[in-house]
Structure 1
Amino acid sequence: MKRLPVFIATQPAGELLQESDGECVFNYHTPLPDAFVSLTMPVRAKSYAHARLLPLFEMHLPEGYLLSVIKKHFGKLGIADDFALLSLLAPSLKGRVTLNEQAHADTAELALADVLHNTSPDLFEALVQRFALHSPLSGVQPKVLAPLLDKATLRVEDFVVKSWGPDYPHLALNEWLCMRCLLEAQVEVPEFYLSEDERFFVMRRFDLHPHGGYWGFADFCVLQAKSRDEKYTGSYEQLAKSIVQFVSPAHRQPAMTQFFKALLLNQWLQNGDAHLKNFGVLYSSLSDVRLAPIYDVVCTTAYIRRDMQALTLRGTKRFVSPAQMRRFGIEACGLTPRQLERAMYECVQGLAWLVSATADLLDGSGEASRTAMLAHINRLAQRGLEAHAQMPG
């Protein structure tokens, strides 16, 4: 039997075990109700059992590029299954829930400015080699979680550094434009940057609590008790119901407005990767749960022209019209007509910024693939503005 101790803020909470048949079991060691490890796993005497790694712990496993790097460099250690991979990552996991009782004292060899203004072609590979085992990040995009010194605050903090390969050229610029569009639409997003050479999209870790320690975080695969293989299953209507179920009443209306605006902009930007792992909640207690900032927004049809939505919306995976989104906002998100109009107006402001920004970037010289991506996003943004302008009322 394999075992991993589980801690909350360095205090013992329970133990995760793997039976010989692969079944995983979690047992609490504490009777304190506030010592829960997940919103979906309240403290109880009875064990939590799952045929595979429980969703809470599976959430920490890397996917895609990072997983391939770890298997390549650490495969000789025997990564037989997800439990073994989690055990390999355990010493470096950070957050409200950890698998290591020791506090982490980060040191940074690089500053945030060094990444944003770097000219070395080997920087990303060096970061991956150094921090791959410290990066519990899902998704197929090349990325790494690295401690960087923020010279503005004189603090070492974790940043997600994303790069891109030939399959998705200029993905960092794509994501920066889309995320900036959301920011201009007054959607809550993490702090993010684009490197000077457009090679890296850099995002500050957003689960640090302002009073110290970490917020709890759970994505909607965890909240809907689904494995990462099921992240493309279900509907946005079901996701809206999960927000109502888990987000505290005091934070629910802002959460539904933010969710609606994110989905509306996903329609206009044609983001086909807004799956269950790309939405989540932050919590400090059972009574303080809020929607996490929106992250991982890109225009996927810049690379996959016939791409569709990750989940169904109003019964289809095709991108839908503003009129259908208006009905979704009222029926699924519970917005009043006035709240809906305000949210759509703010999204239009984001699109207007995007039209102007992409037009400015198209004035400069650049690779054909960069020009094509910018032109595609510019057309989508203009089309969104036109579609909204043609709506009755």
Structure 2
Amino acid sequence: MNTLLNNNLLKVFINDKDKNEPVFVGVLKKDHYLHVYEYNTDITDNKYAISIRMPITQKIYTQDKQLLPYFDMFIPEGYLYEIFKSILVKNYNLSPYINDFYILKMLAKNITGRVEFDKDKKPVKYFDPVDLDYIKTYDTFDTFKYLLENFLEKNAISGVQPKTVITVEDDSNGKHEAIDGKNTIHLTDYIVKTWGNEYPYLAENEYFCMQTVKDAGIPIPEIELSKNKKFLIVKKFTDKYTGFEEVLGIFGYTRENKYKGSYERIAKLFQNILGNNTDEFKIFYKLIILNYLLGNGDAHLKNFGVLYDYDLTNIRLAPAYDIVSTIAYIKNDQPALTLEGRKVWDNYDALINFGIKYCNLSKKESLELYEECKNSVNNTIKKLLVYIKDNEHFEEIGNRMIDFWSRQIQSQKPTISLYNIDPKL
């Protein structure tokens, strides 16, 4: 980090899978309070666009004071943001009003994915991999503190809860390739999430919410609760050739606007970039329903995303992530975004209309998918009741979740019988 303030420039690269090498595509600059992104003039093929929102052009992209939305996606929030802010104030005598460019610069060389930074500068910091089984077993505050300190500069991740990226040795393929007489170590990144006093037992809360989503047929990352339930361990779902973007950035917003807008607007965006992909829209529709049934007041614009191949093809929904029952902690919480102009949990008719009008579904399909989601919630309620008996520490939070979920699946009932619908509708 000694060169952090030496220049206000980051080179941007795309990992080209066909060439098996990074391609220099542009430069991000900070000019006083203006942030500028300019494509390399040799780049003309739009497969090297860094973002869905930022096609190749000889014009420059600019944003005053804040980072451009695509780059803002890499800036941590909450707990992690305050750590980076403290480092910049303490070690570099910067103002408490930190420009996020410097946080991005601290993280940039260790960001791995389709888009990477300063690939022509070496060495990139090497992070000693940790033993995943040890972390699952010894899930203490001291363990989390150790992980955070050792992997701090890998934490280009969003979300306000305490978390850290870690690197583990991955021999899941059952073999290591030999190169120059040495073993190649296969590494995989995971996210370790924990919780603070204001949101007790959040790892268990998220685990059961995510299992409900999975039970409804929605893809999720690999997740696992640690032995003492202090950590939720999530396998990262991107690699060096897979692009990921949050809906927030595609809309051209930065993180302070993540609660701005509606679920209808997300659906319209997906209509534009996913086309008429019925399977993807069924998944998206079920995800919206479950956020309502589970009482997730944090289903904002940063918590929906898309994946695509290195060349900006095969755009599809990202796996569901960061789903929790916030209502278990915030009694009067409400949905993060509007649906038919309102933020209310009891919104059955609006949800059915949403499926028909915005997700390319028939009325019959909308009702059937809604019932699937209700059944998944009901299945999880049964599992939670058993779990609470064996894990008394989770009784209060678990019962709050069960109470709300039960009310949701009982109160939001179809006004039209599934058996009286014209199949053509």
Structure 1 position 56 matched with structure 2 position 76: no
Distance 1:60 1:287 in 2: 22
1:383 alignment partner in structure 2: 407
Match of 1:27 among 28, 38, 41: 38
| Shift in Å, 1:174 | 0.2
Structure 1 position 81 matched with structure 2 position 92: no
Taking structure 1 as the reference length, what is the TM-score of the superposition?
A: 0.92
| Shift in Å, 1:366 | 2.2
| Shift in Å, 1:119 | 5.0
2:283 alignment partner in structure 1: 258
1:374 alignment partner in structure 2: 398
* AA of the residue aligned to 1:264: I
State the Cα deviation string for residues 274-324 of structure 1 (Å, max 9, x = none). 000000110113442111111100000111000011111111112133232
Moved more, 154-163 or 179-188: 154-163
Distance 2:257 2:150 in 1: 31
2:26 alignment partner in structure 1: 14
* AA of the residue aligned to 1:216: G
* AA of the residue aligned to 1:8: I
Match of 1:320 among 346, 349, 373: 346
SS at structure 2 position matched to 1:350: helix
1:181 alignment partner in structure 2: 212
Taking structure 2 as the reference length, what is the TM-score of the superposition?
A: 0.86
Distance 2:205 2:237 in 1: 21
State the Cα deviation string for residues 310-340 of structure 1 (Å, max 9, x = none). 1111111121332321111111222112322
Gap runs ≥5 in structure 1: none
Match of 2:256 among 229, 236, 247: 229
Write the mapping of 1:102-181 to structure 2, written as runs, cut at 5 A: 108-153=128-173, 155-181=186-212
SS at structure 2 position matched to 1:122: helix
Distance 1:121 1:4, change over 3 A: closer
SS at structure 2 position matched to 1:348: helix
Distance 1:166 1:269, change over 3 A: same
Distance 1:19 1:49 in 2: 10
SS at structure 1 position matched to 2:12: strand
Q: Is the 8 A contact 2:36 2:62 kept in 1?
A: yes
Count of residue correspondences: 384
1:90 alignment partner in structure 2: 108
| Shift in Å, 1:109 | 3.4
Distance 1:352 1:106 in 2: 46
2:266 alignment partner in structure 1: 239
Q: Is the 8 A contact 1:8 1:96 kept in 2?
A: yes
Q: Is the 8 A contact 1:7 1:98 kept in 2?
A: yes
| Shift in Å, 1:362 | 2.0
Moved more, 175-184 or 43-52: 43-52
Distance 1:152 1:117 in 2: 19
* AA of the residue aligned to 2:233: V
Match of 2:85 among 60, 71, 94: 71
Distance 1:111 1:386, change over 3 A: same
SS at structure 1 position matched to 2:147: helix
Moved more, 74-83 or 324-333: 74-83
Q: Is the 8 A contact 1:111 1:151 kept in 2?
A: no
Distance 1:5 1:220, change over 3 A: same
SS at structure 2 position matched to 1:343: helix
Distance 1:121 1:297 in 2: 23
Sequence identity percentage? 32
Distance 1:385 1:243 in 2: 27
Match of 2:8 among 2, 8, 15: 2
SS at structure 2 position matched to 1:341: helix
State the Cα deviation string for residues 95-117 of structure 1 (Å, max 9, x = none). 11111316979664322222222
Structure 1 position 277 matched with structure 2 position 291: no
Structure 1 position 362 matched with structure 2 position 388: yes
Structure 1 position 346 matched with structure 2 position 372: yes
Gap runs ≥5 in structure 2: 1-6, 16-21, 175-185, 418-425
1:205 alignment partner in structure 2: 236
Moved more, 128-137 or 105-114: 105-114
* AA of the residue aligned to 1:17: K
Larger radius of gyration: 2
Distance 1:139 1:107 in 2: 23
Write the mapping of 1:264-303 to structure 2, written as runs, cut at 5 A: 264-284=289-309, 285-303=311-329
2:180 alignment partner in structure 1: none
CA RMSD, Structure 1 to Structure 2 (Å): 2.0
Q: Is the 8 A contact 2:28 2:38 kept in 1?
A: yes
